[in-house]
Structure 1
């Protein structure tokens, strides 16, 4: 597969890893155990906003990309979205720490690892050979309703405002 476009089915067999938030592991220095998240199965009966960044804790991702989703979270959820997920090439521990560093709690944005950039590579949306690209998609009950890969280094088509306008 080279990319996803509106009307496509979300691919089968897509998995990410993440560390579910728990109050007892609320500290940024607390570690949990990574778990598999079977995205293809989970997305089959949910409305999902998935956005990808080249890396956790990086300047553009932390200052211009993630904050929009934090700011517009209530509006996005108000449009019937079940899950908001951010993925990056970082491992599940780094993604968990990035969520905690930003004060994200259990039912808000899920921070997941696209380990080995397997999913991003499968759709051809990477940044170089080792990083996830910067993109966003809306999946509604297994169907892609919006999918855009950033054309340049800015946050435009993958930002929360752009996604919100498509919900």
Structure 2
């Protein structure tokens, strides 16, 4: 598949391996601790996002400096503004396994399904749209908005450790 661009249709066969969240495993004090593990379940993004407004952003790796300091916090802080713009789902993907992504969500005090922390094993999705990092084979740093199956915005970072086209401000400006 070529790179996604505004006006394209979101692929009909995208399934991410998702970390447990309250949407699938009810959140409780016992499972809310960063050291608690749940059982990963598959997440059929094509089905779940078909009739919703979605912001999907991708980072090269959980717990890395740029991702943890400059990328994810902006989406957490501006989640109310995204909701005001009609966004139903905010999801972040990374190359990491579901247990790391779950811990990263918990480390950022994300509870429930405010932001889905999904895994893109082997950068399968990112490679399918041409946005995996060629040097490392990991997911690239990018953001996509999907409105009822149609791509509204698609921005990728071409410089290392930069959050400009994939950051929450660029996404908010596009909504």
Instruction: Tell me the TM-score normalised to structure 2 length.
Output: 0.93
Shift of 1:129: 4.0
> Which residue, out of 41, 56, 61, partners 1:35?
41
1:146 correspondence with 2:158 = no
CA deviation string 1:47-82 (max 9, x = no partner) = 000000000000000001011101111000111111
Q: Where do 1:1-20 residues align within 5 Å?
A: 1-20=1-20
1:77 correspondence with 2:83 = yes
Shift of 1:18: 1.4
Task: Give 1:61's aligned residue.
Answer: 67
Shift of 1:126: 1.2
Task: Give 1:44's aligned residue.
Answer: 50
Higher share in strand: 1
Task: Give 1:110's aligned residue.
Answer: 116
Instruction: Tell me the TM-score normalised to structure 1 length.
Output: 0.97
Flag as ranges the 4+ runs of structure 1 deviating above 3 A. none
Structure 2, unmatched stretches of 5+, are 22-26
CA deviation string 1:7-26 (max 9, x = no partner) = 00001211111122222310
How many equivalent pairs are there? 167
CA contact (8 A) 2:34 2:107 kept: yes
Structure 1, unmatched stretches of 5+, are none
- Name the Cα RMSD after superposition: 0.9
CA distance in 2, matches of 1:16, 1:100: 19
Task: Give 1:165's aligned residue.
Answer: 173
Shift of 1:111: 0.3
